Amino acid sequence: MYDPSVGEVIATTQLCSKAQVNAAATAASNALLSWSQTTVSERADYLNAIADAMEQQFNKLVGLSALNSGKPIEEAKIDVGDAIACYRYYANLIVSQSTLTEVTTNEAGIRLLKTLAPIGVCALIVPWKFPMVTTSWKLAPALAAGCTVILKPSEVTLLPELMLGNILSAIGLPKGVVNILPGAAEVGAAITSHPLIDKISFTGSNGVGEKVMIQAAKGIKDISLELGGKSAIIVRADADIDHACDLIIGGIFTNAGQICSATSRLLLHSDIAQNLFTQLKIKTNSLQVGDGFDPDTQMGPLVSQQQQMQVQKYLDIAAEENLDCLTGNNVLDSQGYFASPTIYIEVPTDSRLWQEEVFGPVLVSTTFVDDTEAIRLANDSKFALAATIVSADEQATIEMALQIQAGHLWINEQQIVLPEAGWGGFKQSGIGRELGPDGLSAYQKSKHILLPN
């Protein structure tokens, strides 16, 4: 594994192979009966114990995240705090959920009862972009529901993820309930095709997501996919320009743009375009790009050399398409995997940079004349994960939000994601929801029992 700020090796680990997948799946299957029969209060206690242990090792987890992913230390602190909040949320949710309810029917002399059962053995495949956070989004509700788990973290950001194994051992989680398999793509393929797996929850690229769907189809496995995005940020004519610039910058340059919900398409009312671009360029050029451990750093490096090459590919495409660059437009000549915050203006909607997910600090923009055109442009994408609207007119923004195809929207706010709010998109942004009650339901199946009065 590398420190992306300097491009140097910081640790070497032994990755799992396909041969170890069967042992993990068997362990999870063997543990399922006893774990699924634990009480909800017992499972809640374990989730709270995970959160307690993470709080006790907060600074170490933050440091490992910043070191391994390159993100600024303040972003790493937010990540660890979000993960802790997620474990606590599902601990509270599971104890408040009814385990057996009576369903009202129109049939005389008949009673109908409903209960919820765990799906079974779940394969959780998480990406490198938010270590610990995406893991908690999947692991917390899976454990709360009574499922056992095979967890495959990304081999790129293993350091903070492997700490979880130590925590689970320290709190006395029964053996076989969670099996962590760090490995490359071949391990993921072996997991998703294994006959003992009942559900797959995957976060990552659309290309890999399609392969996961194919594997899931062979065994008729339950599936959740959280995939790509090309989200829009809409700035109406009545928006406060200074605040809008802050939201634009936060939406695309946080985590160096390596966010599935990054608002990488700026839709700007033509009446304020010139003034906003002037201010946006000044603020973007003032961003401090550097080592995540530097307290002045506002944007860290890309996570890997491969990701830096991905961004360079799209900068080359922009040059081929003769896009008008407001600022940036280069990867930085330094030891680490840095790219400059980049903004293109008046980008045609048939541009590859407008249509495709770059997954880096690259913003494309165009203008609109009214809300109808803004909504049309926002919806003109194969993705539909998220969107942001900036305006002084709350009622108008809510009306727009109801017409925009996206699973999560922010109005005049940064990309805050609450454990209570479901997360997921429409179109090619994925299948299913994480977080909130929907996130728990993703790991449960309803059962109905009919009997006479």
Q: Which residues are catalytic?
A: 226, 260
Q: Name the residue type at position 154.
A: S
